[in-house]
Structure 1
Amino acid sequence: LVFLGETRCDEIPPELKSALDEYPWSTLVASTGKGRKGQAGVPLFSKEQPLNIWKGTGVEEFDDAGRLIIAEYATFFFAGAYAPNSGARLENLPKRRRWEATIRRKLSDLDVKKPVIYGGDLNVAHQKIDAADYGVNIRTAAGFADQERADMTALLGSGFTDTYRSLHKDSAAYTSYLWMGARIPARLDYFLASNRLVENITESDVMDDGMSASDHCPIMLKIII
């Protein structure tokens, strides 16, 4: 599977399909709300067609922004997301916390049926090791606020594992280096997996390519499932 976050596309560009031609099945959740055209947007590419696809959370305030896609396969669910940003002054934090509560419920419901892999730009540096403090008060910055970190802790506590941290206990790796024009290296992108899949994780890494094609580095997960 290949999942991309915040493509800002209304449809998948032909050149992108061509570049990922070994993943012949694809779909896109695009922004549909008024004034949101060209924002967010999350496509999924797959080597095989999923059994089922769900687009969005089912909650209106989130689903005009193209932020979530869920694919069902024979032995697992994949959920890919581009989480909302809490805003420069955390003005969107209440909405962001509602998003987190919605996602937590949805993933927990899926996890009852089959194991879940959840990934994407989750817009939070969960632990101190996940952010490099460059002299800014990061506890009042989006992605670094105590409430956002607490929500990630709650999600993990509901039955999920941070796959990168499970293999790299003490390694600092960053997927984003810029925030609102400031240089704050942070790990904002994740693959989480149902706890019962932990022993099946063989590799989970940040592919730091210097952000040549994006303001985020790719991440990868290899798991037996």
Structure 2
Amino acid sequence: MPPKRKASSSKRKLEESEPDTDAEYSEREVAKPKAKKAKKSSPPVNDQPTNKVLPVHIHFPPKNEACMRVATWNICGLAAAQKKGFKYYVEAEDADVLIMTETKVNNDPVDPLLTSRYPHRYWSIADKKSYSGTAILAKHKPLSVDYTLPGHPDPKSVKGRIVTLEFENLYIIGTYVVNAGTGLKTLDAKNEWNKHFEAYIRDLDKKKPVVWGGDLNVAPTELDLANPKTNWNKTPGYTEAETSAFARILSPPKDAVKEGARPFVDIWRKLHPDKRNYTYFSYRFNCREKGLGWRLDGFVVSERLVDHVKMCEIRSEIYGASDHCPVVIEIEGEL
């Protein structure tokens, strides 16, 4: 149980997120439908809470003892998140493996909370200062660690975006996937990433099952964002190129199947086929209160792991330390 916080913590003010240091990752645009004069638009079909700071008390159901719990969270800067209640979520979740994206750290952090809870910590840090950043923290020591995306022509651009841990029974990949950029100006870079990442995840899957988690930076279907029509092929994360690349990973084409490619499963969508819940709400335009969000974060698993997944949930109430909500999965068995 996390320690009780003082009542005054309920009055924490929402701080602005750290500005992104690279123009290609400016605040995600929120395209709005044109308002009709005679009729108000209906609110999104979304039952998520609208809090703008973390709850004073955070509590989750205990982990299934037969399972391992893996969580992923885009923290939008570790330093900023730490000031807004980051540790209370980490303590309450108590995941066996914690994937963090957009850490924006410049060195391996020495955080007593993280070092005491996770003896094995792997930080992928970008060359550019206070930019991107991906980490996987684990209670169990992996067999191997990799920070590369094999075949990618620009290894420098990969730094800070991927960590792969190999365990006895599976691989865990954590990613902060490339953003297609304002005006889709870096869509070519996103396409390059997607091409090599698909080859990489398929190669790993031939060896042992894969759990891929993190900020995937794509809304796979129209159910995964509040305003699909007005954002289609205009806003990063919801274009034909991006959604098709993601769909191809889930359902490989016949030529890939002949070469041994197997399906993957967007496990949150599999378990919640009709829900419109989101993991990202921009701090701008009062998006959280209006339910204007995107489902950009989550887990994709090898199809043969699906029957072992006992839970996958968006921690919808965990908002305010970041403009993203965490996602958690429980998988039966050992790492």
Given the two structures, how large is their TM-score scaled by the length of structure 1?
0.91
| 1:150 match: secondary structure | helix
Structure 2 Cα separation of the partners of residues 49 and 8 of structure 1: 24
Does residue 9 in structure 1 map to residue 105 in structure 2? yes
> What is the match of residue 24 of structure 2?
none
Among all aligned residue pairs of Structure 1 and Structure 2, give the percentage whose two residues are the same amino acid. Answer: 29
Does residue 18 in structure 1 map to residue 126 in structure 2? no
Structure 2 Cα separation of the partners of residues 161 and 28 of structure 1: 26
- Counterpart mapping for 1:101-112 below 5 A: 101-112=195-206
> What is the match of residue 94 of structure 1?
188
Structure 1 residues 105 and 134, CA gap change in structure 2 (3 angstroms): closer
Structure 1 Cα separation of the partners of residues 169 and 293 of structure 2: 35
Question: Which AA in structure 1 matches 2:245?
Answer: D
Question: Which AA in structure 2 matches 1:200?
Answer: H
Aligned-residue offset at 1:137: 3.3
Aligned-residue offset at 1:22: 2.4
Structure 2 Cα separation of the partners of residues 38 and 53 of structure 1: 23
Aligned-residue offset at 1:165: 0.9
Which one is further off, 182-191 or 153-162?
Answer: 182-191
> Where in structure 1 are there 5+ consecutive unaligned residues?
none
Structure 1 residues 209 and 62, CA gap change in structure 2 (3 angstroms): farther
> What is the match of residue 129 of structure 2?
37
Aligned length: 220
- Counterpart mapping for 1:120-199 below 5 A: 120-133=214-227, 136-158=230-252, 159-178=263-282, 181=284, 183=287, 184-199=292-307
Structure 1 Cα separation of the partners of residues 180 and 190 of structure 2: 6
Aligned-residue offset at 1:20: 6.2
| 1:170 match: secondary structure | coil
Structure 1 Cα separation of the partners of residues 148 and 301 of structure 2: 20
> What is the match of residue 38 of structure 2?
none
| 2:198 match: secondary structure | helix
Structure 1 Cα separation of the partners of residues 193 and 205 of structure 2: 18
- The answer to whether the 8 A contact 1:55-1:68 is kept is yes
State the structure with bigger RCO (CA 8 A, min sep 6), 1 or 2: 2
> What is the match of residue 217 of structure 1?
325
Structure 2 Cα separation of the partners of residues 99 and 134 of structure 1: 24
Aligned-residue offset at 1:133: 0.8
The superposition leaves residues 140-166 of structure 1 with CA deviations (integer Å, 9 ceiling, x where unpaired) of: 100111211111101111321011011
- The answer to whether the 8 A contact 1:5-1:43 is kept is yes
> What is the match of residue 204 of structure 1?
312
> What is the match of residue 122 of structure 2?
27
| 1:69 match: secondary structure | strand
- The answer to whether the 8 A contact 1:56-1:63 is kept is no
- Residue from 161, 173, 187 that aligns with 1:67: 161
